[in-house]
Amino acid sequence: MTLRAPITAALLAASVLAPAAAIAQPRLVAATPAANAAVARTASVTLNFSERLAPGQSSATLVMTGMPGMANHPDMKMPGVTTSVSKDGKALLLTSAKPIPTGTYRVDYVVVGADRQRIAGKHSFSIR
């Protein structure tokens, strides 16, 4: 009894920790527009992840980092952009009410996967 208790406790701790450690965290694997690509005007940005995302806790903002004819453009959060998680749970969709104007952009995202950890990241592209 005195010997077994610590072992049982250790096994219990291991079984509780193992599943969480085995679940991979969501990782950005592809995007449209692609990383650092210069594309024609569009109203949507799609970020594809390696794992399913928790819909209520995964979001992103679209930040304009530069535009033609403006030196030292400050970071500017674009208004009218909504974020949703795709039906299959593996993509974060940004939809702009209007086509995104010519300029350079950064998507700042925070996603939560099955392990409940918040993963923050950035994705940059430009609109011609």
The residues that touch Cu ion, with contacts defined as CB under 5 A, are 64, 67
- The CB-of-76 to Cu ion minimum distance in angstroms stands at 5
Return the DSSP state at 55: G
Six token digits for residue 5: 């208790």
- The CB-of-93 to Cu ion minimum distance in angstroms stands at 22
Six token digits for residue 49: 């992840």
Measured from the Cβ of residue 62, the count of other Cβ atoms closer than 10 Å reads 22
Nearer to Cu ion, 52 or 73 (CB): 73
The residue number with the shortest CB distance to Cu ion is 67
Nearer to Cu ion, 67 or 114 (CB): 67
Six token digits for residue 93: 């969709």
- On the 0-12 / 13-18 / 19+ scale of CB atoms within 10 A, 128 is exposed
- The CB-of-94 to Cu ion minimum distance in angstroms stands at 17
Nearer to Cu ion, 64 or 91 (CB): 64
